[in-house]
Amino acid sequence: MTIPFGYSADFDIATLGTLTAVGVTDAQVTTGAQLTFQVTLASVGTEVEVRFEGSLDGTDYFNLDSANANTILDANGTTGYFLMAPVRYVRFRVVSITGGTPTLSCKVGAI
């Protein structure tokens, strides 16, 4: 049996992947207790709209933002987002890109 990411007493980190177009990363199995997403953006044009998603069953995903709002990124660099999310699976989605040819890398940490 594979131990879910975030199951140990340590702080676990997993790379969700890198996106250069609208799309979604592969999902990561997690304990879903306390999640921190780290996004690194390079070569942004005007802005990139992203979403942090979770799922209970690994099939149907939903926005982890409690207001169901997406996140707008408009500057190169690394940003972090802390979420209390009791989910089994997490992934990262690029919803839209306005200008430029951005590269977005996402990692997630869990306790």
Give the span between the Cα atoms of 7 and 23, in whole angstroms. Answer: 28
- Residue recorded with tokens 């207790």: 33
pLDDT tens-digit series, residues 71-110: 999 999 999 999 888 899 999 999 999 999 999 999 999 8
What is the CATH number assigned to the segment(s) 12-110?
Answer: 2.60.120.200
Mean pLDDT (whole number) for 18-41? 93
pLDDT of residue 57: 95
pTM (whole model) above 0.85: yes
Residue spans of beta strands (DSSP E) within the chain: 12-19, 23-24, 28-29, 34-55, 62-63, 71-73, 77-84, 89-110
Give the span between the Cα atoms of 66 and 43, in whole angstroms. Answer: 29
Break the chain into its structural domains and give their ranges: 12-110
